[in-house]
Amino acid sequence: MRYEIKGTPLPVVECQLEPGETIICEGGAMSWMTPNMSMQTSGGGIGKMFSKAFSGESMFQNRYTAQGGMGMIAFASSFPGNIIAVEIQPGRDIICQKSSFLAATSGVELSIHFQKKFGAGLFGGEGFIMQRLSGSGIAFLEIDGSVVEKYLEAGQQIVVDTGYLAMMDSSCSMDVQTVKGVKNALLGGEGIFNTIITGPGKVSLQTMPACQVAGILSKYITTGK
């Protein structure tokens, strides 16, 4: 497969597939394609369909295969930002936010990732239910805004506000801690909880989470000013 990421601030990735080559995506992700791209929809089994429904994702996955020659298929972003290509290797899984996945080659396995500590699920936004990418191949992820990468040593930590975590190595762990001090928590404007990510591994942060933008716009819609 060959691919090209083009356009800004709403990018698109165009993928050129060899005859018989397959790419997978969530339902509704395809933007345009050549006529020889054949689509097959599957749910991946009852267990996977149930876990997807529990996490709020689409229960079905589409597989597009080039037939009778080279094929082209494109996937566009849904929010201003970037599309990045991530190489998935055996034993080096990637954990990402649920909304970031666009497409991947057929060797990449998608599953639901649950944080071990329940507090991360109740208060950490994306902390409890995220998406795990494993197997082998190339995955395309959608990032809100720009991408800032941090490399954490073993035991090194970074404090992240909810929504700004886009992706991290599976070797990293995440927990949620309350903001110290009642006045800080109630009047500081940063919320009551912070997400703590601990290394070792790479952490990718996004500068303009859609949830943050939605919160800002809602104030103007409510007040009309």
User: Domain of 80?
Assistant: 2-218
100 located within any domain? yes
122 located within any domain? yes
Cα–Cα dist 112/19, whole Å:
31
pLDDT at site 183:
45
**CATH code of the domain in which 206 resides:** 3.60.160.10
Which residues, at least 6 apart from 216, have a Cβ–Cβ distance to it below 8 Å?
none
224 located within any domain? no
Report mean pLDDT in 10-residue bins for the chain, 225 residues. Answer: 93 96 90 96 58 54 95 94 95 90 93 64 55 95 94 96 89 81 46 82 92 73 60
39 located within any domain? yes
223 located within any domain? no
What total of structural domains would you count in the chain?
Answer: 1
DSSP for 9-26 reads SS-EEEEEE-TT-EEEEE
225 located within any domain? no
pLDDT at site 126:
46
Decide if 130 contacts 96 (C-beta within 8 A). yes
- 188-193 contacts: CB < 8 A, separation 24 or more? 190/161, 191/161, 191/162, 192/123, 193/123, 193/124, 193/162
Single pTM value for the model: 0.82
